[in-house]
Structure formats: C-alpha cells, structure tokens
Structure 1
Amino acid sequence: MGHVPPIYYGLWQRTLYAEPADGEPTFEDRDTRVLWLQAGDWHADLRVSTVRPDFTGVSSLADCGRNQLIWLARQTAFAGITRVEGRFCTWHRLVDLSPGLEKDIGEMRFIDYDTLEECHPRRRYREVWRRVSPRIDTQPVVRLDDTGLPVRLVFGDHAMFITPRDGLVKDHDLLTMPTALTSEQLTQRAALTLSYAERRGEQWLIRLSTWPWMEDRLVPDADS
C-alpha cells in the first residue's frame, strides 16, 4: 500500500505563493515557474525563475561563466519520497540541488479535485496548486538508478527526468552559499539536473529545466 492517495497523482503547477498564510501578504512570488510531479509515492519538484541570465551559446556546464554557475546552483529542484498522513504531506528529498535544514512539510487541503492548497504548519506561507494533467486511469512509472535514487518519473504524458550528481568531495559543504564556492565547486554543485518534459509520440520534449540549454530538446522514450 502506498503512502500517497491517488488524488495527488499527476502534474501540478503552483499558481500562488504568499507570506504569511493569513491576512494581507507581505511577500508574493510572481517570478518563479513551479512544477510538481507526483508519481505514486515519488515526487519531483522544479522551480525556475523567469528572470535568468543569458545562456546563449551554452551547451554544457563547462561553457558557463562564474555568474551563470552561481545562478544555476541557487535554483530549487528536488526529488524523493512523499508521505501523506492525514492532512499533512512530507516531501523527503533524496535528491536536492540546494538543500537546507528545514523539514519540507505542508498542511494540505483540496479546494476541489484540481485545486490544492498547501500551508506551512506554522502559517508562514500559503501555496495554491492547480492540476495540469487530465484525469486519467493510469499507473505512474518510476525509474531508479542502481543506488535507489529516482531518475525518471512519468504520469501520463508528463515526466520529470532527474540526473543525481556524483558524490561530492569530502570537504564540499552543501550548506555553503554558492557565492562562497569556487568555480570548480559550483560546477560540482550544479551537476544535479532536473527537467520537465511532455510526451511527443515516442519522444519527450523538454519544456523546463535547471539547465536552460536542455529546453526544447527531444529525448527518446526509453519505455517505447
């Protein structure tokens, strides 16, 4: 038996982020595109700012300058196991581009079948999510690597492709701010990538990625 009710399955797009959860907001995020794919007990969450550096001519991390690497390493993207207990949902991040110390847990409420409200348990923020994927009777597809980390999550015509980074060197502090890292350390940090794709026949079209140069590329469907 899974830990996530099927009503959560599918692709969700965040339509509102406000701080605090109650009263007049003191902050609203209007500059980030946020997508969350829930495939069974597994999730992937991608958050890309609409304001980003110019990556013209860039086709790999090796082509990036320091400021581009800092921007890449500051992004939020993670994937892992989800657990729903009552009205609370916890996202256990097994793959995380820029990890922090705070536990990722939200108090959830379905406004209707396609609209989900998430609030911080201490009311620090409120998020509203809108279902993107249609109502379909299908099973999620989850692919893990040899270490048990997710590399592909699929629900219907929507997918998240994840490339976990290799083990970092012993003295790399994941909690260090990107601006304090060397260019080599930034390259190691930004090696983790997460991309959202839509099915196009027997291929996938990447629509959003932590690596901007991956967008609009076609990827073969490994399950075809």
Structure 2
Amino acid sequence: MHIATHQVTVPNPCHLGDWTEQPAPVPNAYLGVWKRTLLETAGARDERSQVFWLQTPRWHADLRIPAGRPDFSGVTCLAECDDAQLAWLATQQGFCGVTQVDGDDCTWHRQLDFQPANGRRDIGRMVFDGERVIETGVDADYREIWERLQHSLGGTAALELLVDAGELPARPAWLLVAGDCFIHVRGRAHPLPHIANQKNVSDLASLIARSRPSRAQLLDWLNVEISFGHRNGPAPWRIERSTLPFREGQFVTHPGALQRRGHRLIVEGNNERRWMIMDWNFGAML
C-alpha cells in the first residue's frame, strides 16, 4: 500500500456505524501498529520515510512522512508556512478506512486520503513472520517490510466523530487505538476538486500545479491531520508525528476522557464530543 493514489471508491457500509454490515474482522496477526522499515519499487528504495500503519479488526489508519522535512520551528499554523514548506507538505501521504482480508491478500478501502484518488485498487499480498510482515503489491510493483511495535499490542478501538461541541463536525474525524498507540485523523472541510483527465493527476503536487489554487484554497487542501502518538499511563495522549508539524507535542485527549455509553457510543469529556464505536476491545473507558 505504498502508493498514495491507490484510493478506491467503494460503498461505505461502515459509515456512521452500520454495525450489522461491517466487514469481517481481519485475522489477529494484523492487529497493532506496524512501522515500515523498507520500501522497494522498480526504481527506488526507501528506508528513511517515517511510516506507521495502525490496524484494528476492521479499520486502518496510515501516516507517511517523507525524509528531508524542512524546518518548521516557530510555525503554529498552516497560514504561517512559506511556499517551500507548503510544497513539501503536499508530498506527504496518509489515509484511513476499512480493511478487507481474503486469504493472503489485503485490500485497504479508503474513506479518507491525503492524496487525490485515481481509482486504483490498493491490494497487497501479505506474508507474516511473527512480528514482521512482507507486503508485495498485487496491482502495483512494490515490496514493503513492516515490523510491529510491541507497545501496540493489547486492546484496539476505532471511533468516528459524530458530534463536536453540540454540532455536527465541520470535518470528518476518526480516532484509532492499538495498545498504547493511537492515530488521530481529521479530514478536509471540502473534497479535492475533480479533474476531467484525472489520470494525469498522479498526486497532490500535480493537482496543485494544474489547478493553481489560491493560497486560501491551498491551505484548505493541505489541512488534513493524520497524527500518530502514544498514550502512557496518566499522561495526556501526546502527538509525536503528524502531517501538520505544528501539532507535534500537542495532545489529542486525556486518560479516562473517553467514556463508553452503551453498545455504540463514546462520550468524551463533559459531553463536548461524541464518537461512534466502529471497533472496541477495551473496558468502559480510555
């Protein structure tokens, strides 16, 4: 699943928690957070990008930060980025959605993607060896090696935001947890524009070059948060890596803030946010 534009448009049986029609859970061997150690394609080898894939029984989230990130010191929001920083941000990758496993083949059906869609399928053939898995592309020529983070073993959860401050959320959002790890995803307020000849738009940088958006539009296109971090004991859930560099070091939530209410609902804090349960394998709270 190394190519960001492998998004596929599929019916979304899981949107807002259609509990009876969710896909079958993936095998237990998939669960946890996997860190990529190697990507090989016909023309490239990458051991430096920071790539994390979190998998719950039905949902996944993926964050990919290329090597060579510019210095974002002192930047507190996207509007403070210069043109070079914005251009680099457009090269990032990440996505989340529903996972389907058929034998050795794994398909990632994306509900959200940092990069524009091009209709290609995202399918990998998976060979597990304990805490290591080798993924080989089915519809694309690539090979990835992943190693599982030990502190990601344990319970899992996948939540979709339903209510934010008493209102429908302005942006779609998900929170996935595996053991002591989490990935928080917050999508665009508006979808990326459709280009008539979409096959010529291979990535977000190409879309920007073709569309020449205003600065305000560009900031909106880049305003996608995919943040990875840890939740350790009584400490707040701290972001360590993010598509929005200024979010690193900030907190997503606090221990005990996520309280289960019945079979399908999580209430956060003093009822300021409500989440739909998509996967849950914890006690009454997180």
Task: Give the structure-2-normalised TM-score.
Answer: 0.69
**Is there any run of 5+ residues in structure 2 with no aligned partner, and where?**
1-22, 163-168, 259-285
Q: Relative to structure 1, is the Cα distance of residues 188 and 33 closer, same or farther in structure 2, using a 3 angstrom cutoff?
A: same
Corresponding residue for 1:23?
none
CA displacement 1:144-203 (0-9 Å, x = unmatched) = 02389551000110000011111247x565945233432222211111110001013241
Q: Which of 201, 220, 230 is matched with 1:198 structurally?
A: 230
Q: Which of 29, 35, 55 is matched with 1:7 structurally?
A: 29
Query: What is the RMSD of the two structures over their aligned residues, measured on CA atoms?
Result: 2.3
Q: Which amino acid aligns with 2:71?
A: D
Corresponding residue for 2:160?
144
1:206–1:218 Cα contact (<8 Å) kept: yes
Q: Which of 233, 240, 245 is matched with 1:212 structurally?
A: 245
2:153–2:178 Cα contact (<8 Å) kept: no
Q: Which of 72, 83, 88 is matched with 1:55 structurally?
A: 72
1:37–1:45 Cα contact (<8 Å) kept: yes
Distance in 1 between residues matched to 2:41 and 2:65, nearest whole Å: 19
Distance in 2 between residues matched to 1:48 and 1:123, nearest whole Å: 21
What are the within-5 Å matches in structure 2 for residues 8-47 of structure 1?
8-20=30-42, 26-47=43-64
State yes or no: 1:104 paired with 2:136.
no
Distance in 1 between residues matched to 2:80 and 2:233, nearest whole Å: 32
**Displacement of 1:141:** 1.2
1:106–1:119 Cα contact (<8 Å) kept: yes
The structure in which a higher percent of residues are strand is 1
Kindly tell me the number of residue pairs found equivalent between the two proteins. Answer: 216
CA displacement 1:119-162 (0-9 Å, x = unmatched) = 01256111110001347442x11110238955100011000001
**Is there any run of 5+ residues in structure 1 with no aligned partner, and where?**
21-25
Q: Which of 112, 133, 137 is matched with 1:120 structurally?
A: 137
Corresponding residue for 2:12?
none
1:150–1:162 Cα contact (<8 Å) kept: yes
What are the within-5 Å matches in structure 2 for residues 57-96 of structure 1?
57-96=74-113
Q: Relative to structure 1, is the Cα distance of residues 96 and 217 closer, same or farther in structure 2, using a 3 angstrom cutoff?
A: same
Task: Give the structure-1-normalised TM-score.
Answer: 0.87
